[in-house]
Every structure is written in C-alpha cells, then in structure tokens.
A = this chain, B = another copy of it.
Amino acid sequence: MPEASPNRPAPARPRTPKPRTRRGQDTRDSLIKAAEAVIGEVGFAAASIADITRRAGIAQGTFYIYFQSKDEVFRELVLEMGKLTRGFLADAVADAPDRLTAERRGLRAFLSFVAERPALYNIVMEARFVAPDAYRAYYTTFARGYAQNLAAAAREGEIRDGDAEVRAWALMGMAVTLGERFAIWESEVDPDALVTEVFDMLERGLKP
C-alpha cells in the first residue's frame, strides 16, 4: 500500500452497468443480500468475496460481473441503507400532529429499525473507515432534512428558536448512540420508556 489516500478524490467510478436480463438482476440481488449479511456480521475486512458468493450460492468470478470490487458492493449497501432508513422514518413520522411528536416517533422508529437490521447498521458505521465519502453523504443527507424540519418548526413557533443545524446533529448523535447502546447491545430498558425519558429532557430541559 504505497499511497493510502485518506481523501480519495472522487474515484472516477466507471460504474458497472446494470444487468440487462431478469436472470442478471436476480443474481445481483442475491449478491447484495449475501453481502449485507456477511459484511454486516463479520465486518468488511473479515468478509471475503468467497464468503459472499458462497452464501449467495454463486461462483466467485460471477461477483465481478456485477461489482468492480469489494469496495463497490459496500458502497452500494451504504446507499441502500440510506434510502431504507429515510423511507422508514418518513413513514413513521408522516402524520404526526407537530414537530415534537414527529421527533419522538422518529427516534422510536429509528430504534426499531436498528434493532431489526443490525447488520445494515454496522455497515453504515464501518463506512466511516471503508468508504468515508459514502459515510459522510449518508449523514449529511440526513442532517439536511432534519435541519429543515427543525427550522420550519421554529418558524411555526412549535419549538424555541435556535441553530437548526447544530440541533440536528446533536439529535442525530443521540439517536445513533442510543441505538447502539439500547437496541444493539442487550438492554434492560424498554424502548418506549427510553424515548419518554429522552424527550422529557429534550422538551423541558434539565433545569429544575
């Protein structure tokens, strides 16, 4: 590894073309699914292409018909995770009467999501080291939407004024860590109680 570039300058990805056949699409799907399982369980470094193709029930070489490298599947997975999470949260929050309720439901939904797909969650976390740009994009995209919602709510007078971006990152950070601690590690704490507790602090503050 002569040049380990921390800031890879837009890898100029030529993009493996999409499958042109039903069969091809199916194979690709199997690979993605297997990759999620394997990489999510044992981590990127420990997951070999052989592991992935074996799990998918497919020959090794076939992998390279659909992805240029191990890196590329990984990125694909991060992208997918982004879409899934955003969709899931959007649904959970869709008909909330106000922003604070929406936030509460959002956190609750996030915890459920993490508990149900720990593998995908691990992949996003590991992206910080395997695909920093994808990782950043994931959180930045999230934060943007989050901040917009908070700003709008402040405008409506639903919450006090304040820096929406800072708040967005602070809230996201809470969610991420709480998810890891109470949804992935074993937890004695009931998720609903957890959310209630957190929002007591967030809504009313810590001051007596």
B-chain residues with CB within 8 Å of residue A163 when the two chains form the complex: 189, 193, 197
Given contacts A177-B170, A208-B157, whether A1 and B42 have CB atoms under 8 Å apart is yes
A141: shortest Cβ distance to chain B, in Å?
13
Main secondary structure of the interface of A (DSSP, over half): helix
Cβ contact within 8 Å between B181 and A169: yes
Interface size class of A (residues with CB under 8 A): 35 or more
**Which A154-208 residues sit within 8 Å CB-CB of chain B?**
157-160, 162-163, 165-167, 169-178, 181-182, 185, 189, 193-194, 197-198, 200-208
A41 to B129, CA, bound (A): 10
Q: Chain B: which residue is nearest A169 at the CB level?
A: B181
A122 to B43, CA, bound (A): 17
B-chain residues with CB within 8 Å of residue A43 when the two chains form the complex: 4, 129
Q: Chain B: which residue is nearest A160 at the CB level?
A: B208
A171 to B197, CA, bound (A): 13
B-chain residues with CB within 8 Å of residue A207 when the two chains form the complex: 100, 159-160, 203-204
B-chain residues with CB within 8 Å of residue A48 when the two chains form the complex: 1
Cβ contact within 8 Å between B157 and A182: no
> Is A72 interfacial (CB-CB < 8 Å)?
no
**Which A1-44 residues sit within 8 Å CB-CB of chain B?**
1, 4, 6, 41-44
A41: shortest Cβ distance to chain B, in Å?
6
A4: shortest Cβ distance to chain B, in Å?
4
> Is A128 interfacial (CB-CB < 8 Å)?
yes
List of 7 A-B pairs having minimum Cβ-Cβ separation, nearest first: A173-B177, A205-B205, A4-B42, A204-B205, A159-B206, A4-B46, A173-B174
